[in-house]
Amino acid sequence: MCGICCSVSFSVEHFCKGLKEDLLCRLKRRGPNSSHQLLRSHVNYQCLFSGHVLHLRGVLTAQPVEGGGGDVFLWNGEVFGGIKVEAEENDTQIVFDYLSSCKNESDIVSLFSKVQGPWSFIYYQASRHHLWFGRDFFGRRSLLWHFGKLGETLCLSSVGSQLSGVTSQWQEVPASGIYRLDLNSTSTSSCVALNLYPWKPLGGNLNTECVNNTLARISADLPPCVSVVADETQLYLKEPVSPLNMMLPQCPLEIPCRSQHCVQPTRETLEVFLTDEHRKAVVERFVDVLGTAVKKRVLCVPRSGHPPPRERLRTGEERARVAILFSGGIDSMVLAALADRHIPLHEPIDLLNVAFMTRARARTGAGSPDSKKGKQTSRCEIPSKDTSGNAGAAEGPDSRFSVPDRVTGRAGLEELRAANPSRVWNFVEINVSLEELQKLRRTQICHLVQPLDTVLDDSIGCAVWFASRGAGCLATQDGVKLYQSDAKVVLTGIGADELLAGYSRHRARFQTHGLDALNKEIEMELARISSRNLGRDDRVIGDHGKEARFPFLDENVVSFLNSLPIWEKANLTFPRGIGEKFILRLAAVKLGLRASALLPKRAMQFGSRIAKLEKRHEKASDKCSRLQVTSLEDLSAGKE
């Protein structure tokens, strides 16, 4: 995982000497192991490249990577398939080697059609004065763009600047394909014309009307001097996943849940479904495909190759290399169970469980005399460079943070311990006070969530930022101790709800309009996931020098689930706790999980109790005033 940036100037008067300090700082937080900058100047333009590396694979490869002909490459991604990368190799170098061997545009487009895994990239092709860039099909890695008012500058970056009046002008690069910019022609014209190479469905035709709509939608959000056009060669990338199976059953789905036994489902209820041989085979195949996706993501981390000595195992000094955003719900429990299969047994696994102070306690703490004495802070906070915390207060469980996800998280921990008592499961209780939330949102998080700006983005962005930071406490045999997760890889269950009808709106859609409407809702969910979730979460998790990995959005997992008819993935004639994410619940049973297999869907913002913590009557889709960015000048003036 890396922080990448390219600042382009098309006129001499706008040539820059370096990036703004705040932007450079945020890029370095994403890539703490190596930071370099490189300048490419031409009579008509100038490009400043900035690369910041979080080292996870092979030999540390500093970025920007330079080629013999003057080419420059910036890569923020992981190759998990499509092209061969050996265990000891660095995928940045491998992808650049492939790019260097490309003879024409068709070869470049073909290469990015093959790469499986999350990626964003910037590639300067010196011989042709072309700048290529883009994000993967799902947009799992952040890439933003910012254009000067008159088209005199362009900046591409993993994160945006925090200065007021600038951050709001950053936009996420649409994950609609890859883009090519002719730097020479742009510098001599008054218009920035971006050539788009769009994704084409596997086995389908490239719909001209659809492409034109995509071009119009992208261009509508850009300054008048910037346009996005289809490349005249009509080259395209092949979508990396199979199209969604829109098949409908020949007969209406049976509604079997009329008995009391089904109204209050048990694990045995799910086991009965697995007596059907076809369904059992489908579930076993799903476990295999998802398990392979998890395996790729938990083994591809730095390891010495040798287990630690028994002395270190006894003293508990071995540190986790993989963490999971963990609520104890079905998504995180299945990921934990599959990770347990593949992570070496001597390594702990960090389960990151976040809770926000319940509203009644927060209001009491914020307005009472005790708050002035520091009693509002968490009893499990860890001092860090971001917050002073309360280091002396790790005394035990705190009822102020007994939120739903904490309760289900502890129950899930016991299930995992029962399944594998030999594993060290670090259940990291991350408690966040209202005061700390407000402070770090203002100074850190709002700049990462931008350019997204809704109440929902605020809630999820803050929850994921605090969870992935991993600063909390552990309950051990010797008592409660402060803990900081060092794991560089963070697994998250994003994608499960979109693929498997996990949201309440899916049930409402099905009950109102039937299976065909449910299929279309899921198709829409997948089409918009890049703009709603993934760029934001990549920026938020990456701010800690950690990498987000999304097993449910592995290309093979999505293709397998897309190939199934809807009723084999979700059966919303069944009640909550069974019908949504039906196939995942059956997979949980196959993996030996019990109570967690029946937990209804609960959104992170509600399970952690951050939703409506500060304002009760706001809606998730409302613009969030708390995400408004304050300039450095305004902050300084406020201190005076």
Catalytic residue list: 2
Q: In whole angstroms, what is the distance from residue 310 CA to residue 618 CA?
A: 54
Long-range contacts of 312-318 (CB under 8 A, 24+ apart): 313/346, 316/424, 318/346, 318/347, 318/348, 318/424
**Residue 224: φ, ψ to 5°:** -60, -25
Q: Which residues pair with 491 in a beta bridge?
A: 324, 549
Q: In whole angstroms, what is the distance from residue 64 CA to residue 44 CA?
A: 22
Q: Position 532: which residue type?
A: R
- Fill in the DSSP letter of residue 574: S
Phi-psi region of 479 (alpha: psi -120 to 50; beta: other; left: phi over 0): left
Q: In whole angstroms, what is the distance from residue 573 CA to residue 509 CA?
A: 12
Q: In whole angstroms, what is the distance from residue 178 CA to residue 162 CA?
A: 27
Q: In whole angstroms, what is the distance from residue 228 CA to residue 214 CA?
A: 9
How does strand 65-66 pair with strand 192-200? unpaired
**Residue 154: φ, ψ to 5°:** -145, 135
Q: In whole angstroms, what is the distance from residue 366 CA to residue 357 CA?
A: 11
CA angle 338, 537, 211 (to 5 degrees): 105
- Fill in the DSSP letter of residue 90: -
Tokens matching residue 460:
């999820």
Tokens matching residue 269:
């209820």
Cβ-based neighbour number of residue 452 at 10 Å: 20
Long-range contacts of 295-298 (CB under 8 A, 24+ apart): 295/338, 295/341, 295/342, 296/80, 296/81, 296/554, 297/80, 297/489, 297/491, 297/549, 297/551, 298/322, 298/339, 298/342, 298/343, 298/489, 298/491
